[in-house]
Amino acid sequence: MSKRFQAPRGTFDILPAEAERREATYLVAAELFARAGYGRLETPAFEDTELFARGVGEGTDIVHKEMFTFTDQGDRSLTLRPEATAAICRAYIEHGMHRLPQPVKVWSWGPYFRHERPQAGRYRQFHQLDAEVIGSDSPLVDAELIMLLDDLLRGLGVPGLRLRLSSLGTPASRAAYREELRAYLRAREGKLAPEVRERISENPLRAFDSKDQATREVMGEAPLMVERLDQPDAEHFAEVRSLLDQAGVPYVLDGTLVRGLDYYTRTVFEFESEALDAQAATLGGGGRYDGLVEAIGGPATPGCGWAAGIERILLALDAPEPEPLADVFVAAPSEQGARAFALVQELRGAGLRAELDLAGRSLKGQMKQADRLGARRAVILDDEGKAEVRDMTSGEQEELDLARAVEALSR
């Protein structure tokens, strides 16, 4: 027997019913972004490996162990994009977008790749909806972005939403805080999980993400970055919170929120849903990255953005009733197949969802198929070139003037 293939580990096929739910989500997002003045920007599915190493950060889990990296025929190291922001900043620089009126507001939708251990809501190829605002450090931008994601998730009806919010300050204040945290962790090294202990020098902030009980107890008492903000950072954060308060957006202030990427400065946030497993409960998150554009070779430019996981959003939502697939089913004995085909084309041309039998069914079988497709009406062609139309709900049937079929069936 020959090998039976399966989709690669951590990937999945999107079947038609699922595709429809995605499309509906996409349309809600597109409408929201259009109203808020965001343009669509799409970058390639892979980039120079170094862009992510420098942009996302060498010390992060993503760069450290989750990237799909390969060498191409020209001996270049390329990586399937694990996230959107670094690539969008690369595009901003490459196309001289700093010369446009600032800020530049963009959104994107597409596949991303991370070599993670697969589980519900965690895949190796997943999809993100992404929003970025580059070229303004105004707290209005942070608030607008957070409110857009809040609007989207509420508009879609995601249950049990929770927004966590914090500020990570600027690189200088964070460096001082990191030293303080390192000293705190070193003094308690014996109580920390080995993987946390190993990374005290490299990335002490990640200790806040540990699931280890003893480590969590240590972290419960640890100094927090939000308590160490410089005056301008503290004012910026207070302004963001005040804008959210005025808009009535509920959030929880959470000084343990660090996010898994190095480039964040000032505001960071995450939306979770109680409907999801704790292991993969985050629907989306983001924050400000005022040093990123410069770090990857552009002019010093502030930025802020978020990414939301499409699969997570759909997991958190109940699957809706399937939509009917057809308005009209055209049934005919097999000798009249060509006439049925022509009528279906005519009806589709007029904007109706029309179907016909493609499997050699008997007339009775065709009526069953019409039912399965949820068609409201069936047209039944006979051998004499006449036609009747049946209301599939009431079963009522009457003659149909084929010359005026579109008009009659559009009602």
Residue ranges binding ligand AMP (CB under 6 A): 83, 114, 116, 121-123, 126, 128, 260, 282-285, 307-309, 311-312
The CB-of-114 to ligand AMP minimum distance in angstroms stands at: 5
SS3 label, residue 289: coil
Shortest reach from residue 399's CB to ligand AMP, in Å: 55
Q: What letter does residue 5 receive in the DSSP assignment?
A: P
- Which H or E element spans position 142? helix 139-156
Return d(Cα 338, Cα 297) in angstroms, integer: 63
Contact 373, 361 (CB under 8 A): no
Task: Quickly tell me which residue has 């000084």 as its tokens.
Answer: 255
Nearest distance, CB of residue 283 and ligand AMP, angstroms:
5
One-letter amino acid at 294 equals E
In whole angstroms, the minimum distance from the beta carbon of 242 to ligand AMP comes to: 25
Nearer to ligand AMP, 282 or 366 (CB): 282
The span from the CA of 78 to the CA of 48, in Å, is 5
Closest CA to 106 of 171, 56, 54, 36: 36
Rank residues 283 and 400 by Cβ distance to ligand AMP and give the closer one: 283
CA distance 230 to 256: 18
Distance CA 262, CA 265 (A): 9
Whether cis (ω within 30° of 0) applies to the bond prior to 101 is: no
Rank residues 125 and 138 by Cβ distance to ligand AMP and give the closer one: 125
* Least separation in angstroms between CB 336 and ligand AMP: 50
Q: How many CA atoms lie within 13 A of 388 on its CB side?
A: 11
Contact 377, 390 (CB under 8 A): yes
Task: Give the burial class of 173: count Cβ atoms within 10 A of its Cβ; 0-12 exposed, 13-18 middle, 19 or more buried.
Answer: buried
Query: Cβ of residue 253: shortest distance to ligand AMP, in angstroms?
Result: 19
CB-wise, 280 or 344, nearer to ligand AMP? 280
Measured from the CB atom, the residue of 55 and 309 that comes closer to ligand AMP is 309
Residue 380's H or E segment, with its range, is strand 377-381
Nearer to ligand AMP, 84 or 405 (CB): 84
User: Shortest Cβ contact with ligand AMP: which residue?
Assistant: 309
Q: How far is the CB of 122 from ligand AMP (least distance, A)?
A: 4
Whichever of 255 and 309 has its CB closer to ligand AMP, that residue is 309
